[in-house]
Structure 1
Amino acid sequence: MEKKSKSDITKGWINGFIGVLLFSGSMPATKLAVMDMSPIFVTIARATIAGLLALSVLLACKAKYPAKKDLFSLILVALGCVIGFPLLSSLALQYITSAHSIVFLGMLPLATAVFGIVRGGERPNFIFWIFSIIGSLFVVSYAISAGVSSSPIGNVLMLLAVFVCGLGYAEGAKLSKKIGGWQVISWALVLSLPLMLPLLFIYFPNNIGAVTASGWFGLGYISLFSMFIGFIFWYKGLAQGGITSVGQLQLLQPFFGLALAAYVLHEPVSFSMVSVTIGVILCVVGTKKFAK
């Protein structure tokens, strides 16, 4: 595995942090969207909008076509990040609250790290895993202590969403080292367009006029920031700083998301949330210090 400079690692953490901030609004925004539109249509619409934007950027930049050997990785990114996670998380939000779904995102660092090992060849040390597991336990324990509502179907859907998202993150990060972060998500979105465009018309809602301004805002956010712009920073950060290391920044995403949920969806923010956030931040610092 190539040795990374301190400058690359620092840039990776900065870009990764920006990506996490943008992703933090995904679940609250998705909740706003699925309150007015079906989860399937929301998944298709966000991928179509982001795909058309990505196609425009690729054409404007005269980007080179990906190599045939990279198509499999791009398909995995598309299945995990363009289709799998958006669809599964949207379906889950029919059964659980936004706050409940956000808590599951605390498991993303572990999922990303595992796939970073399987697909990216990274080998973090034992202390890294201790901090990573402790950070994830902080998130899970907060969910339990907060007494979030439970739904078996919603829980299973979110676990599957986290699984496929971790695969897409790790695969995209590995490929970003070769063709660049924005090209990875752009080509993954473009590869999805032949499927998404026809489905957009098939699942286009009859009551589109009844969609509220908040519903459109939610769809717009997840289409532009969650589906495209956020990935540009995220994949670049993972490629620069390392998948397993920078991936631990995802431990902060549930709490940024909960803060946004409190503001957008008017959900209460407790003192315990702030306390656990501090604990998670310390775990992130620990993983950054000890990850190789």
Structure 2
Amino acid sequence: MRAQDSATSAGTIAVHAPVGEVTASGATGDAGGSRSPGSRRGGTLLAALGVLAFSLTFPATAWGLEGFGPWSLVTVRSVLAAVIAGGCLLLTRAPVPARRHWPGLAVVAAGTVLGFPLLTTLALETSSTAHAAVVVGLLPLTTAVFAALRTGARPSRAFWAAAGAGAAAVAVFTFGRGGGALTTADLYLFGALLICAAGYTEGGRLARIMPGREVISWALVMCLPLAVPGALVALSREPVALTAHGVAGLLWVAVGSQFLGLVVWYRGMAVIGVPRASQLQLAQPLLTLVWSVFLLGERLPVAAPVTAVAVLVCIAVTQRART
């Protein structure tokens, strides 16, 4: 009886441990399989809200560029999100990370807080959101490559075959749209893929040690010493027009994409598990294409949705392939 009680207790700990944190047994917690149907539905809804928030990032950035310069938009976005994140850290009395974790947090900050927003914002000055959504649809595959190099994971041949097919589809699309050559926007987007993949990989590693919401919050707070003076300089040098679209776009990328979207996304992952949540994110590029039509009035080239679907199919195969 005592052994059975101990096993039951250990199982309970594993069920309630947030995804990405180490459970008592040393395994990564994944609660997806032990929740009630009602709880799973709630978790699915939260994860879907996170995907919805992320899918609006590029259209909101395009709106923000109507009222702010690219450097102003990125730095002010970081400041606003960091203020919110810092307040949450204070309210939850989150402990300060150990010194050995700060280099990893710096990679997260460089990749997801500064690098990816800046490079994609610069790209959207000359690129359509539809084009950017298709190119950045390769991010899950790029992250998988970084994760394999960083953690030593060995995905199956089917995984890498699908990853290569997705990369080829994106390459054909970008070269075709650029008249046979890469545009400056494409270079920004591919740079964003690399730096964000590094940030995601390091953040995933740190999420084994601390809650994911604290990883992104501390990364945001870490950027404040750069973001505040950067925002002051950018606002003094770039024109600002407080239009409805500009302000709405800024608020969404700061509050919705950079903070709240990640909060509900991590909570949804904790309830339904990483595999199910990952499947929901496959819809993100297509959702962005839809938003670009309804919010920005863009006309989609035939190749954009076709390429997006091809990339999503490839990502779906990688999600099911053995690792």
Pairwise TM-score range, normalised by the shorter structure: 0.7 to 0.9
3-state secondary structure, aligned to 1:78? helix
Spell out, residue by residue over 1:82-139, the C-alpha distance to the aligned partner (whole angstroms, 9 max, x if none): 1111111111122222222222102212210111112233221111122233334445
User: Compared with structure 1, are the counterparts of its residues 81 and 269 closer, same or farther at alpha carbon in structure 2 (3 Å cutoff)?
Assistant: same
Task: Give the corresponding residue for 1:166.
Answer: 197
Q: Distance in 2 between matches of 1:269 and 1:95?
A: 16
Q: Distance in 2 between matches of 1:59 and 1:17?
A: 28
1:254 paired with 2:279, answer no
Spell out, residue by residue over 1:211-240, the C-alpha distance to the aligned partner (whole angstroms, 9 max, x if none): 210111111110012211223355677895
1:77 paired with 2:108, answer yes
Query: Retained in 2: the 8 A contact 1:173–1:236?
Result: no
Task: Give the corresponding residue for 1:181.
Answer: 212
Q: Which of 242, 247, 251 matches 1:211?
A: 242
Task: Give the corresponding residue for 2:223.
Answer: 192
- Of 2-11 and 53-62, more deviation after overlay is shown by 2-11
Structure 1 or 2, whichever has the larger Rg, is 2
Spell out, residue by residue over 1:55-98, the C-alpha distance to the aligned partner (whole angstroms, 9 max, x if none): 00000001111111110110000000111111111111222222
Spell out, residue by residue over 1:34-68, the C-alpha distance to the aligned partner (whole angstroms, 9 max, x if none): 12211001010110000000000000001111111
Query: Retained in 2: the 8 A contact 1:136–1:251?
Result: no
RMSD of equivalent CA atoms: 3.2
Q: 1:18: how far off? A: 4.5
Q: Distance in 2 between matches of 1:252 and 1:137?
A: 20
Q: Distance in 1 between matches of 2:195 and 2:303?
A: 30
Task: Give the corresponding residue for 1:23.
Answer: 54
Q: Which of 32, 42, 53 matches 1:7?
A: 32
Q: How many residues align?
A: 288
User: Compared with structure 1, are the counterparts of its residues 234 and 144 closer, same or farther at alpha carbon in structure 2 (3 Å cutoff)?
Assistant: farther
- Of 257-266 and 198-207, more deviation after overlay is shown by 198-207
Task: Give the corresponding residue for 1:40.
Answer: 71
**Structure 2 unpaired stretches of 5+:** 1-25
- Runs (4+) of structure 1 exceeding 3 A deviation are 1-6, 8-11, 13-20, 135-145, 147-151, 205-209, 232-240, 245-252, 269-285
**Structure 1 unpaired stretches of 5+:** none
Q: Distance in 2 between matches of 1:141 and 1:250?
A: 23
Q: Residue type matched to 1:36 in 2?
A: G
Task: Give the corresponding residue for 2:17.
Answer: none
Structure 2 length-normalised TM: 0.77
3-state secondary structure, aligned to 1:77? helix
Higher helix share: 1
Q: Residue type matched to 1:7 in 2?
A: G
Task: Give the corresponding residue for 2:141.
Answer: 110
Q: Distance in 2 between matches of 1:233 and 1:118?
A: 29
Matched-pair identity in %: 32
Task: Give the corresponding residue for 1:121.
Answer: 152
- Of 213-222 and 245-254, more deviation after overlay is shown by 245-254
- Of 132-141 and 55-64, more deviation after overlay is shown by 132-141
Task: Give the corresponding residue for 1:130.
Answer: 161
